Amino acid sequence: MEEINRFFNDKNEVSRDADIDFSQSGDYLEAIKALSRTTYQSLYVINYQTRGFEYVSDNPLFLCGKTSEEVKELGYAFYFQNVKPEDVEMLIKINEAGFGFYETIPVEERKMYSISYDFNLINSKNNLILVNHKLTPMFLTEEGQVWKALCVVSLSSNSMSGNVVLSKEGADEVWKYDLIEEKWEKNEKIKLSSREFEILSLYASGMTINEIAGKLFITADTVKFHRKKLFEKIGVNNIAEALAYAKTNKLL
């Protein structure tokens, strides 16, 4: 229990008698369950008042050989069993930094923010799998603390753990957390040109270079030119990485 409590701090302390409008949640779990049936991603719900998981989807990506019910019962103990020790320490640092940033956000805007980060899970075959977590508040206490949050788990498009990014819906900037310097840095959100968006969208639909060229009435070399500029802009090496990045960062 002592280890698990390291994931929680007084920046988001939700006590048993916290002032909460319970009517805001309704029967929300039915919507979460429906969403989990339509996506390859894994979903789970964190309850900061009980300091555990309220729901874990059946998608095996996040489960590491366990059932969803076993992971739900384990709660945060799951991380100490199935995450590299150094990545556990990183997650605790990210958690503290995230809630530190969160304290600076006006209460009325807090649901508009989400945080994304990568870490290594150890699966049932003892192999490392780099996954991405995207976490966003669902319900708040009357004082603006996070009561419940939704986390979406997918395979990471990056090559190593970290990559901590905090973003606000509709904003033109993102905040990246430097794990070494332990500080947030503001960056402009990457924007695709209309041509880059068209080409990436057509790649996502399964088209080849020649098919894309024909569709857009341009040459194959022009497609390759825009593809190269796109790779440089978002820092990837191939179209598979570009598509994964685009999905993770909502560019498509």
Task: List the CATH number of the domain containing 198.
Answer: 1.10.10.10
Query: What total of structural domains would you count in the chain?
Result: 2
- In this prediction, residues 25-53 reach a mean pLDDT of 91
Enter the pTM of the model: 0.83
Which residues contact residue 234 at a Cβ distance below 8 angstroms, ignoring those fewer than 6 apart? 190, 242, 245, 246, 249, 251
Q: Are residues 178 and 235 in the same domain?
A: no
Structure tokens at 163: 């990559």
Give the burial string for 165-179 (b: 16+ CB within 10 Å, else e). Answer: bbbbeeeeebbbbeb
- 140-176 pLDDT tens trace: 999 999 999 999 998 887 889 999 999 999 888 889 9
User: Looking at the structure, do residues 121 and 215 belong to the same domain, yes or no?
Assistant: no
Strand partners, 177: 164, 184
Residues 6+ apart with CB under 8 A from 154: 40, 41, 42, 61, 131, 132, 134, 247, 248
Q: What is the CATH number of the domain that holds 37?
A: 3.30.450.20
Kindly state whether residues 102 and 212 are assigned to the same domain. Answer: no
pLDDT at 189: 83
- Single residue among 144, 168, 188 that ends a domain in this structure: 188
Q: Which of 136, 154, 188 is the last residue of a domain?
A: 188
147 and 49 in a single domain? The answer is yes
Of the chain, the percentage scoring pLDDT greater than 90 comes to 65
85 and 12 share one domain: yes
Is the pLDDT score of 102 beyond 80? yes
Q: Which of 167, 188, 209 is where one domain is finished?
A: 188
Same domain flag for 37 and 149: yes
**Which of 4-8, 9-13, 61-65, 126-130 shows the highest mean pLDDT?**
126-130
Name the residue type at position 55. Y
Looking at the fold, whether 169 and 203 belong to one and the same domain comes out as no
Neighbour tally for 181: CB within 10 Å: 8
Mean pLDDT of 211-238: 92
Kindly state whether residues 87 and 198 are assigned to the same domain.
no
| 91/246: higher pLDDT | 91
| Statement to judge: residues 38 and 143 lie in one domain | yes
Residues 122 and 242 in one domain: no
Domain that holds residue 105: 4-188
177 with 243, same domain? Answer: no
- The position carrying tokens 């100490």 is 80
pLDDT at residue 155, rounded to an integer = 87
